[in-house]
């Protein structure tokens, strides 16, 4: 909690106004659900120490609100859900050994063929909408492995019955249904770009988050289809390079640097997101990895396209680094050896 608050403090110092809280993933389900308490009890690293209680979540939302920051949660599915299955294995797809035709002891993505899946998500989404006041929440849709679905005869039979010819269209079927659940709850959705790429029918207010390479082509495709988009592909803070000037690559990435079919498409690019994933980051190093590298992202996103001088930006980044240090943020040196007055 203390490091989340420090992140929010630093975000405010950098004019970043949305905290995308990827609060659950394969490895852990720390969100303590009132409707499904077993999710965190069995799916978190430790049900006493490593969970976010309802009080914790409310505290983060209010702390962010006081700093002009929205909190947008992500409950990613149908992939990235291994931790969900610790308490509700029926949610996940049973994987089979292709040679023996018997279960191999593992589970894959959420099973999109069961009514239980959608009843469960209806209840969970209702809770998310009640707990998080923002009009948007992120429903995920990225990095879905299809091997398990394709090994399960029940899933294959379902696909045949519904004339679904490929696994990516099965994912689209699932996403379409949960988008409907969110819409029925008057919630607006953010999705990862695979959802758009796979041809899911999206409402006009759905935001497509671009994270894969080939951003210019994707930016044009998404906006040409009339959808809002959020760029994070070139702002992945976890892609860390030791050598000095690591922030240059973020500063040089302009969201509007793509060839649009129509000039009105540029109005649909609503912002960018600096993303820090935690495979190799925890409370011991998150501050220094994020700051002031994310400051370069903030300046790019708040600056006109013609403000591109790296040398001038380096002076501002250095000054801001020292400002962050004085305010208690454990930022790392941005430009090599030096000192703060």
By annotation, the residues acting in catalysis are: 143
Q: How far apart are CA 220 and CA 260, in angstroms?
A: 5
Measuring CA to CA, which residue among 189, 24, 53 is closest to residue 131?
53
Contacts of 94 (CB under 8 A, 6+ apart): 103, 107, 108, 111, 148, 152
Determine contact, residues 236/277, Cβ cutoff 8 Å: yes
Measuring CA to CA, which residue among 163, 165, 119, 122 is closest to residue 146?
165
Place of tokens 């696909």: 159
Determine contact, residues 257/249, Cβ cutoff 8 Å: no
List, in sequence order, every residue forming a beta bridge with 318; answer none if it has no partner. Answer: none
Measuring CA to CA, which residue among 246, 78, 89 is closest to residue 177?
78
Q: In which element (H, E) is residue 108 found?
A: strand 103-110
Using CA atoms, how far residue 29 sits from 26, 74, 299, in Å, is: 8, 12, 33
Q: Is 8 helix (H, G, I), strand (E, B) or coil?
A: helix
Q: How far apart are CA 299 and CA 307, in angstroms?
A: 9
Contacts of 138 (CB under 8 A, 6+ apart): 20, 22, 72, 73, 74, 75, 76, 189, 190, 191, 209
Q: What's the sign of the alpha-carbon dihedral 64, 68, 69, 70? A: positive
Phi, psi (degrees; rounded to nearest 5) at 14: -110, 15
């Amino acid at each position: 909690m203390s490091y989340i608050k420090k992140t929010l403090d630093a975000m405010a110092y950098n004019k970043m106004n949305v905290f995308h809280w990827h609060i659950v993933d394969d490895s852990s389900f720390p969100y303590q659900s009132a409707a499904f308490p077993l999710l965190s009890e069995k799916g978190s690293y430790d049900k006493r120490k490593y969970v976010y209680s309802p009080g914790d979540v409310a505290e983060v939302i209010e702390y962010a609100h006081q700093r002009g920051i929205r909190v947008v949660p992500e409950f990613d599915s149908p992939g990235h859900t291994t931790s969900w299955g610790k308490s509700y294995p029926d949610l996940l797809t049973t994987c089979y050994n292709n040679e023996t035709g018997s279960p191999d002891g593992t589970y894959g993505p959420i099973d999109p063929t069961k009514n239980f899946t959608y009843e469960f998500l209806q209840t969970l989404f209702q809770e998310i909408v009640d707990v998080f006041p923002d009009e948007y929440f992120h429903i995920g849709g990225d990095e879905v492995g299809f091997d398990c679905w394709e090994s399960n005869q029940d899933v294959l039979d379902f696909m045949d019955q519904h004339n679904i010819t490929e696994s990516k269209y099965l994912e689209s079927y699932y996403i379409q249904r949960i988008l409907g659940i969110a819409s029925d709850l008057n919630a607006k959705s953010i999705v990862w770009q695979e959802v758009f790429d796979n041809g899911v029918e999206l409402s006009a207010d759905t935001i497509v988050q671009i994270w894969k390479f080939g951003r210019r082509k994707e930016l044009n495709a998404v906006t040409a289809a009339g959808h809002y988009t959020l760029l994070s592909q070139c702002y992945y803070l976890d892609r860390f390079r030791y050598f000095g000037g690591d922030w240059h690559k973020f500063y040089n990435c302009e969201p509007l640097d793509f060839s649009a079919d129509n000039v009105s498409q540029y109005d649909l690019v609503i912002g960018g997101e600096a993303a820090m994933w935690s495979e190799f980051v925890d409370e011991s190093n998150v501050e220094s990895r994020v700051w002031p590298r994310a400051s370069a992202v903030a300046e790019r996103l708040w600056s006109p396209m013609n403000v591109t001088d790296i040398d001038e930006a380096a002076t501002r980044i250095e000054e801001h680094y020292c400002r962050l240090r004085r305010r208690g943020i454990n930022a790392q040196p941005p430009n090599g050896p030096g000192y703060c007055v």
